[in-house]
Structure formats: C-alpha cells, structure tokens
Structure 1
Amino acid sequence: MADEPEAIFRSAEMTLIQLYIPAEISRESIYSLGSLGLVEFRDLNKKVNQFQRSFINEIRKLDNVERQYRFFKSEMDKKGIEMKETLFEDATYNIMKTSELDEIVSNAQLLEDRLSQLTNASDDLLKRQMDLKQYQQVLNSTDDYFQRTLAPDLLDLGDEQQVEFLENGGVHDANFITGVISRSKVDVLEKILWRVLRGNLFIKFTEIEQKMFDPKAKEFVDKSSFIIFAHGEVILQRVRKICESLDASLYFVDQDIKRRTQQKSEINDKLADVTNVLETTDRTVETELRAMSLELDTWWNSVKLDKSVYSVMNKCYYDLTRKCLIGEGWVPTDGLLKVKASLEAISVKFSTNDESSFPIIVNTIETTRTPPTYHKTNKFTAAFQAMCDSYGVATYREVNPALPTAATFPFMFAIMFGDLGHGFIMFLAASLLVLNENAIGRMKRDEIFDMAYTGRYIVLLMGLFSMYTGFLYNDLFSISMTWFKSGWAWPDHWNEGDAIAAHQVGVYAIGLDPAWHGTENALLFSNSYKMKLSILMGFIHMTYSYMFSLVNAIHFNSVIDIVGNFIPGLLFMQGIFGYLAICIVYKWTVDWVAIEKPAPSLLNMLINMFLAPGSVEEQLYPGQAVVQVILLVIALICVPCLLLIKPLYFKYTHDDGEHYEALPDHEASSDDSNNLLSNLNLDDDEEHEPHTFGDVMIHQVIHTIEFCLNCVSHTASYLRLWALSLAHAQLSSVLWSMTIGGAFGSTGLGGVIFTYIMFGMWFVLTVCILVVMEGTSAMLHSLRLHWVESMSKFFEGEGVAYEPYSFESVLAVAAE
C-alpha cells in the first residue's frame, strides 16, 4: 500500500461526498464514521429548528443521563472519591447495541433514585444530628451557668428557701430563653435586644467549640449558645421573634434541675441512635459511589459518543417515505477509500434480508463550494500549525505558512535571545517535557503548564537555536569564551596612562572575537553589527515570503496576479531594500582604513536616493549615482503598474457592468445511484458577492498603498532583532556583575557563604527574568514578525478549518 501524500506544504485535496444510508443501520454507520474521523458533515437541516429534528428525543434522553452522571460525580466530590478516568489511548469505540443503550439509561435512573434516597436520608439525619448536638450544647451551657450562679445565691437564703431555689433550677424567676445562633450574628442580636428592651434583660453567650451545620448556608459554621433572662411573657415573645429573625434555633430547657438532667439523658440517647444510623447510611452511600467510580467514566464516554452520533444524524436529511438517511460531508481525497471500506463493512455486517433495504451508497459531488482547509500534522508540526492557524486559517490549497515557520520562528527568536547558557536552560527544560511526553500527556495539566507542554518542540528548537546564536555572539551568561585563537593582539609594551589599542593579527574562526569583550568600543561595534544584520535578516525573510505569492499564483493559474502584483512588487522591493541589503554587504567587504576613506552612512545614502536623485555625497562605489537613479525610476514605475494592471485587465475581460455570478453548488454527480432521490434538493448554493470594476479598483488601490508603505515599515520592524538582542545582552551583563560577579573576590568562610547566596540569587533571577520573562518577550516579537511582516506578503487566510466528526475530538472536548 502506497504511503499517503503529505499535506503540510499546502492543504490536502478534499472531496464532497453524499451518503445514502438505510435507516435501520444509520446509527451503526455514523458510529463507524465517528471512529474513523475523516468526514466533516454538513448541516442539511439549517432551516429546521433544533427541537424539531428527527432524533431530538434520543438526544434529550441522553442529556438526562448525563445530568444523572453529573449528579453522581458531584456526590463523589463531596465524599472525596476520585473517578477512575479512561485515557484517550485506552478508549474503545465499539458500537453499542440499542438494547445496551437502553440498559444504561435504565440503570442510570435506578442509581439516581437509590442515591437520591440515600443522600436525602443522610441530609435529614445530619440535620437531626446537628439539631440534637445544638440542644446538647444548650443544656450543658445552661447547667454551667446555673452552677456558677448557684453558690452566691444560696448565701443569702434560708434552709427552706435553698430547697425551693434548688427545685427551681437555681433561679428565682424562670423567665429565660435558650438557643443557638451563628457566631457572626452574636453582636447584632445583642445590640437589637438592648435597644428594643432598653437594657431590661440579662444575656449570656457561650462559644461552641465544634462547628455546627447550617441548613441555609449548607456548610459548617461557628455558633454560640445563649441564654436570655427577661420579665413578662410579652417581652419574652418579642425576644423569640427577634432571635428567629436572625436564624437562631430556640430550645426548651426545663427550669427544674432533675428534669433538665433527664432531658440531657434523653438527648444523649437520641443523638447516639441518630449518629449510628447516619454512619450506616454514609457507609452505604460511600460504598455505592466507590463501586460507581470504577465504571462511571466508561459509561459517560459511551453516552457522549452515542449523543454525538445522534447529533450528526440530526444534520442529515431523514426521508421517512424511503426510510433513508441522506448526508453530505467533506472527506480528504486520499481518505475516500477508507470511508467507503468502513461503510461497506457496516453494510455487510448489519445486512438484512428485507427486500426494501439497499446497500450504503457513497457519491462524490462536483461543486463550486470552497472546501475546508486540512493540514496533516504530527506531534512536532502540530504546535507550529496551531500558531499560524490562530492568526488565520489558510485558504484552501494555498501555501501553508506553518512549514517555513517551523524553522524561521525559533531562529528569529534566537537572534533576539542569543546566549549559550540561557539557551541551554531552555533546551534542558524542553528536553524534559519531550522525553517524558507520554507520562505528562496522561496527567491533568493547568492552563499555563499545558501551553508549555503543547509547545514543547517549539521551546526545544528555540533553546537549540539560541545556543547556536549565543555561540556566534560568544555570550555565555554574558561572559565571552575563547573557543579559538583571537584575531587581535595587545602591544607588548606601553607607557602608563597611555590609551591602549589592539592590532589585528588574524581572523577569528567563527562568531564574535572575545577580544571585543570589555573594550570601550564594544557596544558601538556590536550595535552596528547587529543593526545591519537585522536589516539583512528582515530582507531575506520578507523576500522568500514574497516568493510564496508566486507559488500560489502558479498553483491557481493566475497569470494576472503574477503580472499585475508579483513582478511590480518584487521590482519595487528589490530596487530599494534589496539594493540597501547589497550595499550593507558590500560595505562590510571594503577595508576603509586601508584605503584611508571614511565609511559612508547607508542611512543618509537611502534618504538622499529619494530626496536628491543623482547626487551622492559620500560615494560607496563607482557609478553609484546612475545606479540609484535607475533603481528609483524602476520603483516609481512599479507603483502605477501595481495600481492599474489588474483593474484594467478586469475591465478588458468583462463587459461594462458585468458581474461575477455565483455558480450552482452541485454541477454534476459521478453516479446517479439509479436516480435514487435524485430530485431531492438538499443543498443550498454558496453565496458569491458580485464584483464590479469599482470593487476591483478600490481593492487594488488599498493593496498598492499597503504594499508600498509596508515595505518601509516592515523593514524597519526587523530592527527589533537588534534592539532585543542588545537589551538581552546588557541585562544579562548587569545581572551577572550585580550578583555572582561581585562575589568572586570574597575570601574565607564568609566569602563562601556570600558566594553561595549570590549564586542562588543569580540563578533564580536568571531563570525568572532572563529565561522566562525575556524569553516570552522575544517569542512574542518573533511571532509578530511572522504574523505581520512575513505572512502578509503571501497569506490570504480566508479558509475554514477542517473539523471532521471524530470520537477522539468528542472525548477531548468533553474532558475540557
């Protein structure tokens, strides 16, 4: 079997198919296609309300099952029971029989009824237990209060009065109210009572150490018991209403000490009984939930898949008279045989002897409708593809920007982040993610960590490329390394106080000579070098990106785009900025000291090329004035060419007022399928807006202005490569000198400790600031260079992403 063609340079070819599926095997057929994951179904029932479609009752039934499963999961979370999750790679997509689905629905209802009964009973018992515990606390606090007040009161009473006092519970007048209130409302209750009764009361609060359950808040809160003494039933009734308005629980406490003791005994017995029943109920609930936790995720996935099957069936047209399900969808052309083979296997497996039944029919349809864009990716290219798709999905069959981005994005990042040490830290972190990708892929990840894991290969290349550019810059944590013999030498003898100048004795093998490190003009040299290098990199990046527009025009056989857009645009860009790039390289090749001439300013040269054509103040090469005038004339001629060629071509090829009209979506069918349902119009034509000469002219004016201005602004935008590279190097140097660099001079035990502390500070700040923060900044700038400066040269981005019906994607979305 031949290998499938790749679809990374441009999107895969797509085919629109039409399916005729017998109703009795429609569910099994769609299930098979979901397992295959190659068909993007079109909604043929756009004008039909969602609640009026053929299979809405099945979806509602499964929605109810999912609601029941969510109830089970919430109860597990309350009990701290973890649900055993089924991993994507372990998931099975076996077709479930209708009887099995009905059994799942029935079992879910039975489990919900039983679990609801148990949880409701448990909640009622918990409330009863909390109520008895509060009653118990009130009785205990009341006894404690009476015992504290008993001894002083007896001192002033005779023997007969003491007996009467004890029989009344230690209180002369038993006008009191007891209860429990939330601790947060204690101050409120006290203030209200003092204001209402004008201080004619006595109130005492006792904090309850154990938290009590609040039925309204449905959580355990801190509470306090209270006892309130007042005179008169009217006043006591008013106090009760105030307490109840603050959600206080009131309890009757007998004034007689013997009866109160009996109350405590009865409450303790009831509390013990309720606690035993509650514990038994909770154990039963926990047992049920633990048994459920082992299978719940498997059940849930089965229900999700079956629900997605019915959702897809609702997108198809259901012919009741012929008992046939008709669907349409996009399929990659190279996957068409797989779709046919899968449906054929279903047709054979579930075939019946019914004479009215017919095999599954798959037709390919010729259409003018624009297919969706599908790029085949793997675990390496997926992150780069997602990066480009987040800006815009490529138009069908145009050049995919993700392919070159896989190389240029990390390299542009590395130019701004060039440091051998920092790149190694980033490369090491990404290597850990790559080497352990299978184990990490099974873990639950938060949003930030998932971004790092998804882009692990991007980070890996960014670190690797940064090590390469750091080697060229000769930067290792801002310290230069002598990898090869230096090309500069210092004089053997000099007088004290004289300025010392090195002389060149050779050429450094590769990269930046370490002799520049620490010199007075090091920053001036690196500034000039990196600034010009940034212009060159930008010119190369934009030029090869612009070449992709030629590739697109050739692929779509658009000669007018080559003549009217590409050629004038290329001449305009190369005549100005290509010329500047050549001058930069030429200036580097000339030894200006040897010829005893000052190096001319290229910026002034470019400005005078437009403001003073034909005059050159500082000549770079012989005949420079003539060359610049010719290039300027060519660039000026290209502007009206960009502006007029394409609109005039449209005017010439179309009569005045003629429009582009929308063509019918379906022109012909490769197989009339014995005229089965051939008269049924399921498709709505794709709408095409007509284009007039004015529309084309306005579009071309905008394109010309944008292109000419962008050539200037985009070239200048690449100077960010120089700016961020310089900033990174300087920040790294400052961080080194202010931390570990100043600690190396310390000696003794204190010096060791100080060096250890400074090293820790340097390492933490290096990782947090230079690697993470600076790395993020450089990454965003590299992303902008690709989205704006590069992709704008050729990328239309007017495509629609290919989203096939796939069980894997259904489960992935559900997991989020």
Structure 2
Amino acid sequence: MSESEAIFRSAEMSMIQLYIPNEIARESIYSLGSLGLVEFRDLNKNVNQFQRTFVDEIRQLDNVERQYRFLIKLMEENGITPPETLAEDYEASHKNALTTSQLDEIIANAQILEERVTQLADASETLLKKQIYLKQYQQVLSTSDRYFSSDVSKDLNELNENENNNSSDPIETPSSSSSSSNFITGVIPRDKIAILEKILWRVLRGNLLFKTFEIEKQMYDKKAKEYVNKNTFVIFSHGEMILERIRKICESLDADIYFVESDSKLRRNQQVQINDKLTDVTNVLETTNLTLQTELRVISSEIDDWIKCVKLEKSVFVTMNKCHYDLNRKCLIGEGWVPTDELLNIQTTLEDCSNQLSSNVSSNVPIIMNVVNTTKTPPTYHKTNKFTDAFQSMCDSYGIATYREVNAALPTAATFPFLFAIMFGDLGHGFIMFLAALCLVLNEKSIGRMKRDEIFDMAYSGRYILLLMGLFSMYTGFLYNDVFSISMSLFKSGWEWPSDFKEGDNIEAYKVGTYIIGLDPAWHGAENTLLFANSYKMKLSILMGFIHMSYSYMFSLVNAIHFKSMINIVGNFIPGFIFMHGIFGYLAVCIVYKWCVDWVAIDKPAPSLLNMLINMFLAPGSVDEQLYPGQATVQVFLLIAALICVPCLLLIKPLWFRHQLKQKSIALPTDDVENDDNNLLSNLDIVDDEEHEEETFGDIMIHQVIHTIEFCLNCVSHTASYLRLWALSLAHAQLSQVLWSMTIGSSFYFKGFGGSLFVFIMFGMWFVLTVCILVVMEGTSAMLHALRLHWVESMSKFFEGEGVPYTPYSFTSLLNEPAE
C-alpha cells in the first residue's frame, strides 16, 4: 500500500504561509474553504475576539442569522416546513463567493423581510387577542343574560339576610336600589374554579353569591398558548371595596373580568355590538393570517439556501480573523497545515482564483504561498473512503494517532468483524445481519439524502462494518455448523453408530474418519457436546488472543524503526517480546501440540495446560503430567528468560538516557546541551515538540517503572480477557438453542390444521424474538466486547494516541454540522 494513501500511516503534513492581497482576500479564502484542505492557525491568539479586523462584518451576518431564525420560528408556528437543501447540492450550485454588492443585498433583504413579517405577525397577534376578548365577552353576555332572565330575587334575598345576620362583619351593607348592580362577571380556566370559590368563601366569610357556567367550546388561553376549557362566572356581593377585592383575587387566578349591564335591554345592545365587532375582527384576522402565511411560504422555498450562504460567508470572515492583517503591505498573512501531496492542488486553486479576480481589481497582485519549516507537531490526517471511514471513526473515538505512527484502523477493518464473528457465530443470524447491511449498502445514495435520526444514522454510517460482521458470522457459523442452533450435514460425518444400535441404547459412536471442514454434525445433540465445545472454544479464544496481541505488538517495532528510535527497540520491544512469547507464546504452542497428539491411541490421559502453566511458576523444574520430552528443561529456560526481561524493561532505557545526557554535557557547550537534550527527549517520545520541558533521570525512571509494571500485568490480564470470545460464543449458541426449542421446535409435535396454525404462530414469535434478542441485543453485546478487545488489548500494545486531529477549513464539514 502506497504512502500517498495515508491509511497505514497518517499523511505527511506541511505548514504553508499565504500572502493574500486585501482586494481578493475574501474570495481566496472562500476558494480554500471549497477545497477543504487547509487547517488555518490562529495568528491572533493574543488579540481579543471583539478587537479583530473583521468583527463588524461578523456581527452583521450574526444579525442576519438571527433574523432567519426568527422567520423559521414563525414558519413552525404556522405549520410551514421549509425544504432542506443537501450540502452537496448546495456546494455544486454555489462554487464562487458572493460579490460585495450581493452580500450587502442579502443583509438589506433580511432586514426588509424581518420588518414586513414582524408587522404582519404583530397585527395578527393583536387581532387574535381582540378576537379572544370578544369571544369570551360574547360567552359572558350569553350566560349572564340566561342567569338574569331567571328568578334571582330569591338568591339575592338570601345573600342580604346572611349579611344582616353577621353584625360583627365590618363590610358595608348596600342599599336595595344598588344591590342589583353589585356583581362581577368574567371568564376563568375551569381547573381554577374550585380554587376561586374556596378563596372567596374564606375571605368574604360566605357573604357572596357565586354562580358558574361551563363554556362548551374550548377557548384560547394567552398564558398557556393553547386551547383550554373555561367557565364563565357571576359573583354577587355588597360594597365597592369588597367588589374591588374580588376583582383582584380573580385576576390573580388568570381570570378575565368583563362589564355586563344589569338592564336586559342594555345587555341586548351589548350583545349586538359585540357580535358585529367579532365578525369584523374575524374577517380582518383571517385576511392577515392568509397574507402572513403566503409571505412565509414564499420565503420558506429559499430560506435554507440563504442560511447556508450566510453561514459560509460568516465562516470566511471568521477564518480571515485568524490571519494577520498587514496594514503596510495591505494583505492578509495566514498560516496553516496542509497534506504535502496536496500542495500543488492548493497552489493551482489560488492561481485560478487570482486570475479570475484580476479583472475586478486595479492591479494584478499574485497570491504568494511559501512552505515553512517548523518544529511544531503537525496534525494527524488519515485519508479515508466510504468503506474505511467507519473503522477510522471507531479508532479515533479512543484516541487520535500520533503523527506518522501506525494507524490502528487498517488492521481493525479485518480483525474487528472476525473477533465479533467468533462470539456471534451462526450462519442464520449472520445472514440476517448481512441482508440488513446489504440493503443499506445498495441504497446508500438514496438513504444518504434522507434525514436520519441518531440511531439510524449510526447504523447507516457503520453499514460496511455491519456487512463484514454479518459475512464473517456466516463463515464462523459454517465452521461451528450452526444455523439457528440447528446443524447441517453437508458432508459425510466422521462418526458412525453400530449396526445394531437402537434408540435408547447406551452405546457410543465410533470414529470412521474426519469431517471435511468445520464441526462434525454428530456432535449436535450428543451428551458431551457442551464439554467438547467448552474445551475447543476456550483454547481457540486463547490462540486468537495471542495472535491478535502478537501482531499488534509488532506494530510497536514498526513505529520504532520508522522514528529511528533504537533505544525503544532494545529497551522496550525485545525484552517485552521475549517476556510475552516466553510465557503465553509457549502456552499457545502447547495448545496446538496437545491438539495434534492422539492421546487415546497412546493410551495416556491428556495433561492439564492450566496446571502446567501454574506449576511453571510455582514449581519450576517439576512436571506432574508430561506433555512432551524435555518439558521441564524448556520451561525453566523460558521462565529464566522472562524474569531477566523484567529488569531489562525497567533499566535499559533510563540508564541509556542518563549515559547520553552525561556524554553530551561533557562534549558540548551549555547552550548546545539544552538543544541536544530536547532532541534526545523527543526521540524518547517523552515531551512535546512545542513545549520542551526539562526531564530528570527520576522522571524517566518513574515513567519506565509504570510502563514495566503495566506491561507485565497486562500480558496476564489481556490474555485472560480474550476468554470472552469463548464465553459469548457458548452463551449465544445456548440461547439460540433454547429459543428454538421453546418456540418453533415444540410446535412440530402437533398435527392437523390446528398444528399448522400453531406452527405459523410460533414461527412468527420465533422470528421476532430471534431478530430482537439474538441479532440486535446479542449482536450489540458482541460488538461492544470486540470493540473493547481492540481498544484495550490490541491498541495498548503499540498505540500512543497523542495526536491532534486534522480539522481543515471545509465547507462540506460546515454545511453538515447540526443546526444550533
């Protein structure tokens, strides 16, 4: 694989310096944003954001974005959904930057639209409030007229008697002539009627007459901004002070108070006037709303394009604020990181932009681009395509690779679906997952243009991961000979039953050959099948784990060779390699050797490998059950080699650093010592290139002690961690078998039409549970375990993850960002 593809290692980066004439600065930055290859550095870090050169332009565009958000809010309130333009479609139709006059026109049009729509919205809101007021007034008049037309004298006399009997009450007693006008009418939400009545009863000590009537239709509530159930009410009492107190209590409970004449003729005149006003207001409101909605629909057809246009133009000015503005040269000076193999592309783009704009300016001043040598650490950039992007995102979620170190995403593209398939090995379940992923892959263009929710977008983004997971699961399911927990007899079995065998006889099958590939179907349903599968998958998981960790550890050698760090090879890789392979590599070889020996033929029990590994440390030189001749001598030699590697891991690198530091301090002047120390520490990968901190021998020693302890312990814990491959594989197989036997498997014993119907029902139940539990839930669990094996067990062997992500100024990234 060529280096230019930047998948095995990150792409080589170069820092460029741009000198852009002020006349064409905005258009040039716009062309670089369309290209999406330059990560601009902020050269004005010490300058306040509000004191930079192009703050006024950014404020204007911020105001335009606020105006567009206001228009969208009004559209949502009126049930209008503006069509959304896809980022790629917009970029294809807007390749060039707007002229200054076009940008000014957009700002002016946004102000005009806001004023026009605001006037219509305010008028509509005012008319709506007036309509609500008149409708409620109409209901109050109707219910009040109905109440007053009835015989109310009895209620009023009862109220007067209660008032006269309460001699200690300081409330003034009204005259009989004014008692008929001592009432308050209004409208209140229905859920507050009981509260109002209770408060008035306690405050006035029962000296009131309270009547309420339900309004059949729901009325709009201004405070709740929704239609609610309301009631009209009439409250009779004595005295202006008391009535004023009642008004305040009603208003505190969001009641609307209305004046109603006590005379029936005057009330009829009120009703006529209110009905006429309500008709006029309703007509004007409908006309205003129609005009507003028409205006908003016209705006909605283009507002998404306007938003994207303003967003890009604003990003141009934000990027220009990162550049240094040279008043003397009248140009912008910018710096940024770009991939080295894209330098020619960027140069060509700037030259084309300069030539296109030369006719609009008085003088043709070229754009100057220089490649700058720097000691700053470049950002990490891996070129990806639609297949590798999901795997790269998976590894970047754990950490960004250090610049130019081996990229963990490349091997992950093969090992992740395979380790998943070991835990999820079933031909049927893998086929369901493969079909689901295949649908996403075949329809990726149409789905990519759809608006997706978060969960569906995760599945779509990882469609190629799911496709490989399903494909690899079909392969491992074929090896396990499992199809929905049922075995297949594709080839002749290697086991046969005696000719006189009858069902129920306690006779064992005898071996006549070897099954061609995969697990023999004769094991399915055997009494010792679980014991056999346990032993087989447990040892297989140890082998897979050792292979996975070994090749991952080899990447640390590749990194050390690339960075020319011989001390890392001698002080870290070689002792670590001997330690890991002397113990766990030996265990892996013993597992394979034990499989290759026919222990039945030699009439010897197979030795326990777990006891062998324990005794290798606790009782070196003694072997209880010999696996092969000379086993004791080999184990003692490997144990001594592993123990020697521990002090080597601990001391070689720190002592070498101390020796080099002393040699340089003697041979070089003081100033040169500091520079050489920094280079030395950089080779040791201990300090950052941008901030060289003085590291002492004690610091290096502590760092190496931690590394040694962590490596030795991780060799044990990580090897044991791969046993999850065995545990989840057995759990998946057993759960699949239980689900089959509890649903469709038990329905085959029924016969006739009822039996057929029962089979149909059980099949539906089995299929739904299979997809939901075994494919989705079990698949998610296996995927998370496979992810952990890569993040922790594999990547910790070589991955530093101290890089900085490459985030170029790109319109594609800006347009795909979620809206605020």
TM-score (norm 2): 0.92
Q: What is the letter of the counterpart of residue 191 of structure 1? A: K
Displacement of 1:562 = 1.2
Equivalent residue runs for 1:742-781 within 5 Å: 742-781=746-785
Query: What is the aligned partner in structure 2 of residue 786 from structure 1?
Result: 790
C-alpha distance in structure 2 between counterparts of 1:184 and 1:660, whole Å: 80
Query: What is the aligned partner in structure 1 of residue 630 from structure 2?
Result: 623
CA contact (8 A) 1:661 1:688 kept: no
CA contact (8 A) 2:678 2:692 kept: no
1:537 partnered with 2:539 = no
C-alpha distance in structure 2 between counterparts of 1:285 and 1:33, whole Å: 40
Query: What is the aligned partner in structure 2 of residue 523 from structure 1?
Result: 530
SS at match of 1:213: strand
SS at match of 1:312: helix
| 1:661-690 Cα deviation digits (max 9, x unpaired) | 59999xxxxxxxxxxxxxxxxxx9922222
Displacement of 1:402 = 0.2
C-alpha distance in structure 1 between counterparts of 2:744 and 2:152, whole Å: 74
SS at match of 1:350: helix
Range with bigger deviation, 744-753 or 601-610: 744-753
C-alpha distance in structure 1 between counterparts of 2:434 and 2:809, whole Å: 37
Range with bigger deviation, 420-429 or 209-218: 209-218
Gaps of 5+ in 1: 154-170, 666-683
Q: Select the residue among 388, 409, 414 that pairs with 1:381.
A: 388
Q: What is the letter of the counterpart of residue 786 of structure 1? A: H
C-alpha distance in structure 1 between counterparts of 2:783 and 2:12, whole Å: 33
CA contact (8 A) 1:368 1:664 kept: no
| 1:460-486 Cα deviation digits (max 9, x unpaired) | 111111111111111111111112111
Displacement of 1:657 = 9.9
Displacement of 1:565 = 1.1
Equivalent residue runs for 1:69-88 within 5 Å: 69-88=68-87
C-alpha distance in structure 2 between counterparts of 1:685 and 1:616, whole Å: 53
Range with bigger deviation, 371-380 or 92-101: 92-101
SS at match of 1:745: coil
C-alpha distance in structure 1 between counterparts of 2:819 and 2:439, whole Å: 25
Q: What is the letter of the counterpart of residue 8 of structure 2? A: F
1:577 partnered with 2:579 = no
C-alpha distance in structure 2 between counterparts of 1:4 and 1:87, whole Å: 33
CA contact (8 A) 1:660 1:691 kept: no
- Cα 1:195–1:32, aligned 2, differ >3 Å: closer, same or farther? same
| 1:356-401 Cα deviation digits (max 9, x unpaired) | 8732110001111110000000111100000000000000010000
- Cα 1:664–1:728, aligned 2, differ >3 Å: closer, same or farther? closer
Q: Select the residue among 299, 303, 315 that pairs with 2:310.
A: 303
C-alpha distance in structure 2 between counterparts of 1:686 and 1:508, whole Å: 62
CA contact (8 A) 2:212 2:231 kept: yes
Q: Select the residue among 94, 111, 114 that pairs with 2:113.
A: 111
Q: Select the residue among 708, 713, 723 that pairs with 1:709.
A: 713
CA contact (8 A) 2:75 2:296 kept: yes
- Cα 1:536–1:215, aligned 2, differ >3 Å: closer, same or farther? same
Query: What is the aligned partner in structure 2 of residue 225 from structure 1?
Result: 232
1:560 partnered with 2:567 = yes
Equivalent residue runs for 1:17-416 within 5 Å: 17-91=16-90, 92-149=94-151, 173-351=180-358, 358-416=365-423
- Cα 1:379–1:815, aligned 2, differ >3 Å: closer, same or farther? farther
SS at match of 2:335: strand
SS at match of 2:188: strand
Q: What is the letter of the counterpart of residue 145 of structure 1? A: Y
CA contact (8 A) 1:4 1:334 kept: no
C-alpha distance in structure 1 between counterparts of 2:459 and 2:502, whole Å: 57
Displacement of 1:85 = 1.2
Equivalent residue runs for 1:419-568 within 5 Å: 419-494=426-501, 498-568=505-575
CA contact (8 A) 1:487 1:505 kept: yes
C-alpha distance in structure 1 between counterparts of 2:504 and 2:462, whole Å: 55
| 1:330-362 Cα deviation digits (max 9, x unpaired) | 000011011111111122222269888732110
SS at match of 2:206: coil
CA contact (8 A) 2:23 2:361 kept: no
Q: Select the residue among 740, 743, 761 that pairs with 1:739.
A: 743
CA contact (8 A) 1:423 1:466 kept: yes
1:418 partnered with 2:420 = no
Q: What is the letter of the counterpart of residue 56 of structure 1? A: V
Q: What is the letter of the counterpart of residue 342 of structure 1? A: T
SS at match of 2:180: coil
CA contact (8 A) 1:420 1:476 kept: yes
C-alpha distance in structure 2 between counterparts of 1:756 and 1:10, whole Å: 55
| 1:407-428 Cα deviation digits (max 9, x unpaired) | 1001100000111111111111
SS at match of 1:5: helix
- Cα 1:323–1:349, aligned 2, differ >3 Å: closer, same or farther? same
Q: What is the letter of the counterpart of residue 546 of structure 1? A: Y
Displacement of 1:800 = 0.4
Displacement of 1:219 = 3.1
Displacement of 1:213 = 2.5
Q: What is the letter of the counterpart of residue 558 of structure 1? A: S
C-alpha distance in structure 2 between counterparts of 1:172 and 1:691, whole Å: 97
Range with bigger deviation, 327-336 or 439-448: 439-448
Displacement of 1:748 = 2.6
C-alpha distance in structure 2 between counterparts of 1:355 and 1:89, whole Å: 35
| 1:719-748 Cα deviation digits (max 9, x unpaired) | 000000011111111111111111111123
Displacement of 1:815 = 4.2
Displacement of 1:756 = 2.3
Displacement of 1:613 = 1.0
State the percentage of identical aligned residues: 73
Q: How many residues align?
A: 781
Range with bigger deviation, 425-434 or 391-400: 425-434
Displacement of 1:494 = 4.4
How well do the aligned residues superpose, as a CA RMSD in angstroms? Answer: 2.2
C-alpha distance in structure 2 between counterparts of 1:513 and 1:148, whole Å: 96
Q: What is the letter of the counterpart of residue 312 of structure 1? A: T
C-alpha distance in structure 1 between counterparts of 2:320 and 2:678, whole Å: 25
1:597 partnered with 2:627 = no
Gaps of 5+ in 2: 156-177, 666-672, 680-687
Displacement of 1:310 = 0.4
CA contact (8 A) 1:661 1:689 kept: no
- Cα 1:257–1:192, aligned 2, differ >3 Å: closer, same or farther? same
| 1:65-84 Cα deviation digits (max 9, x unpaired) | 00000000000111111112
C-alpha distance in structure 2 between counterparts of 1:216 and 1:496, whole Å: 81
C-alpha distance in structure 2 between counterparts of 1:17 and 1:551, whole Å: 29
C-alpha distance in structure 1 between counterparts of 2:59 and 2:217, whole Å: 46
| 1:250-282 Cα deviation digits (max 9, x unpaired) | 111112222212211111110010001101110
CA contact (8 A) 1:657 1:692 kept: no
Range with bigger deviation, 460-469 or 640-649: 640-649
Query: What is the aligned partner in structure 2 of residue 680 from structure 1?
Result: none
CA contact (8 A) 1:395 1:798 kept: yes
- Cα 1:128–1:317, aligned 2, differ >3 Å: closer, same or farther? same
Displacement of 1:143 = 2.5
SS at match of 1:621: coil
CA contact (8 A) 1:13 1:333 kept: yes
- Cα 1:496–1:719, aligned 2, differ >3 Å: closer, same or farther? closer
Displacement of 1:217 = 3.0
C-alpha distance in structure 1 between counterparts of 2:133 and 2:126, whole Å: 10
| 1:235-259 Cα deviation digits (max 9, x unpaired) | 3222222112212111111122222
Range with bigger deviation, 556-565 or 516-525: 556-565
Q: What is the letter of the counterpart of residue 743 of structure 1? A: S
TM-score (norm 1): 0.93
